């Protein structure tokens, strides 16, 4: 058979039973796929290495950027004020930062990635048990970005675990590998605690909390502020938490597809643990830049809900994932926000005559409705929540 024939057969095997793309990319990879099927090929303008000038080389050098680094231990010490300023700068100008010295032991971090790898290494018949298209299911195994809507599929399989309320969701989590539940629960609890500490810092960085009390009058107002912060923190304690384990197997033609299309995260904050394989890119100053993994750290990003809550001061930034032809990549994203029943709105304390309200009230139901009905990639959702749509 001529190479051209082999290629066209492979590209069209979407419909043959052994390569049904609904089974995901790990399954295809295990079946020794040599070409990316048509279903995964992006239009030329959306591919990862779009060549801007017409040089012969088909690769643009990938730009890397050093994200602002926030030292969590320092945030808890005497330099808190300076660290809060860096935090605010990062949330306004990057929508992202790397969190180091966060206090979650390396062992818990490593074990989570390790058990995730072992989960995806299990036979497809075992993984398949958790497949569901029900967005509200406490456990959901699947592929691509939005499996039922995506015109072009992306090179990613995932396991989504709903972590709240844990006593209700845990019984649905995978029972194999045998240590999966125990390791994932430990990780989820540590992650939640860290998130709550970060929210407190974020609220403070937005100027919603004042530590030093000066006059009696100020002291009274500051107590009000502290009550306000306490109330918000209480809501977050009971907030939603979704853990997304992403698996990106090697891809034979990584220039034709993406691991995840450009999107923003819907929640308040996402804490992402990436393994040592790079792939995450964020949009920064109109360019796609690669985030270098820092072992043991979290990449933290502002989600749509925090953009709304901060009335646009902090930005939920577009990001995407590249794949490569050599290495498997695993990442664990923890998305945190308010309880599902709550409404997200700009904080009244950040709105006045000079800072008019920019976003509508937003609830989870309208987000889910939106995510189901249309292409939820890009920043379409948050765009639809703006009061001035121009
Ligand atoms: C996500 C995400 C990035 C990555 O899960 O929302 O953006 O590197 N993941 O896997
Ligand atoms: Ni994301």
Dump the DSSP string for 205-258: HTT-------SHHHHHHHHHHHHHHHHHHHHHHT--EEEEEEEE---S-TTS--
Q: H helices within the chain, ranges in order?
A: 3-11, 25-30, 72-75, 80-93, 106-121, 124-127, 166-169, 180-205, 216-237, 304-309, 364-373, 380-384
Q: Write out the residues surrounding ion ligand 2, Cβ under 5 A.
A: 265
Residue 210, pLDDT above cutoff 70: no
Residue 221, pLDDT above cutoff 70: no
Distance CA 384, CA 382 (A): 5
Give the residue-averaged pLDDT of 167-190: 97
Ligand approaching nearest to the C-alpha of 113: 1
Residue 281 CB less than 6 A away from ligand 1: no
Residue 376 CB less than 6 A away from ligand 1: no
Q: How far is the CA of 317 from the centre of ligand 2 (A)?
A: 9
Residue 259, pLDDT above cutoff 90: yes
DSSP string, 29-88: HHTT--S--GGGPPPGGGSTT--SS--S---PPPEEE---EEEHHHHTSTTHHHHHHHHH
Name the residue among 92, 68, 20 with its Cα closest to residue 294.
68
Q: What token pair was written down for 346?
A: 């700009």
Partnered with residue 247 across adjacent β-strands are 157, 330
Q: Picking from 22-31, 249-258, 345-354, which range would have the lowest pLDDT averaged per residue?
A: 22-31
Q: What is the pLDDT of residue 4?
A: 47
Residue 274 CB less than 6 A away from ligand 1: yes
- Residue 369 banded pLDDT, cuts 50, 70, 90: confident
Distance CA 117, CA 277 (A): 13
Q: Whose CA is closest to atom 8 on ligand 1?
A: 280
Q: Percent of the chain at pLDDT above 90?
A: 72
Partnered with residue 284 across adjacent β-strands are 287
Ligand approaching nearest to the C-alpha of 260: 1
User: 69-71 and 319-321: which strand pairing?
Assistant: unpaired
Ligand approaching nearest to the C-alpha of 258: 1
Identify the residue whose tokens are 């691991």: 259
Q: How far is the CA of 165 from the centre of ligand 1 (A)?
A: 23
Strand-by-strand arrangement of the 69-71 sheet: 69-71, 96-100, 298-302, 269-274, 329-336, 241-248, 157-162, 139-143
pLDDT tens per residue, range 92-136: 999 999 999 999 999 999 999 999 999 999 999 999 999 987 878
Distance CA 199, CA 232 (A): 9
Name the residue among 134, 65, 180 with its Cα closest to residue 170.
180
Distance separating the N- and C-terminal Cα atoms of the chain: 56
Residue 3, pLDDT above cutoff 50: no
Identify the residue whose tokens are 């074990």: 111
Q: Picking from 7-11, 24-28, 87-91, 279-283, which range would have the lowest pLDDT averaged per residue?
A: 7-11
């Amino acid at each position: 058979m001529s190479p051209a024939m082999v290629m066209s057969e492979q590209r069209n095997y979407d419909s043959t039973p052994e390569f049904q793309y609904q089974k995901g990319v790990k399954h295809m990879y295990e079946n020794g796929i040599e070409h990316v099927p048509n279903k995964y090929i992006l239009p030329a303008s959306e591919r990862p290495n779009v060549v801007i000038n017409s040089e012969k080389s088909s690769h643009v050098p990938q730009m890397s950027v050093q994200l602002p680094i926030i030292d969590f231990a320092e945030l808890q010490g005497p330099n808190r004020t300076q660290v809060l300023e860096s935090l605010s700068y990062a949330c306004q100008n990057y929508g992202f930062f790397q969190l180091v010295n966060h206090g979650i032991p390396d062992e818990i971090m490593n074990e989570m990635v390790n058990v995730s790898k072992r989960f995806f290494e299990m036979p497809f018949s075992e993984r398949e048990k958790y497949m569901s298209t029900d967005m509200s299911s406490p456990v959901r195994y699947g592929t691509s970005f939005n499996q039922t809507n995506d015109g072009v599929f992306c090179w990613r399989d995932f396991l989504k675990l709903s972590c709240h309320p844990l006593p209700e969701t845990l019984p649905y989590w995978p029972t194999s590998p045998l240590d999966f539940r125990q390791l994932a629960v430990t990780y989820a609890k540590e992650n939640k605690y860290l998130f709550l500490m970060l929210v407190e810092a974020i609220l403070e960085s937005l100027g919603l909390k004042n530590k030093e009390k000066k006059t009696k009058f100020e002291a009274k107002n500051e107590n009000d502020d502290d009550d306000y912060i306490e109330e918000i923190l209480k809501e977050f304690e009971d907030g939603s938490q979704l853990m997304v384990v992403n698996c990106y197997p090697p891809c034979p033609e990584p220039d034709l597809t993406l691991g995840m299309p450009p999107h923003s995260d819907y929640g308040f904050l996402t804490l992402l643990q990436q393994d040592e394989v790079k792939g995450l890119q964020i949009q920064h100053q109109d360019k796609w830049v690669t985030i270098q993994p820092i072992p043991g750290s979290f990449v933290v990003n502002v989600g749509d809900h925090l953009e709304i809550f901060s009335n646009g001061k902090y930005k939920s930034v577009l990001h995407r994932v590249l794949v490569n032809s050599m290495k498997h990549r695993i990442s664990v994203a923890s998305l945190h926000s308010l309880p599902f029943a709550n409404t997200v709105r700009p904080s009244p304390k950040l709105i006045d005559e000079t800072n008019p309200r920019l976003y509508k009230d937003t609830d989870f139901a309208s987000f889910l409705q939106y995510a189901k009905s249309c292409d939820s990639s890009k920043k379409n959702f948050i765009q639809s929540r703006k009061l001035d749509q121009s």
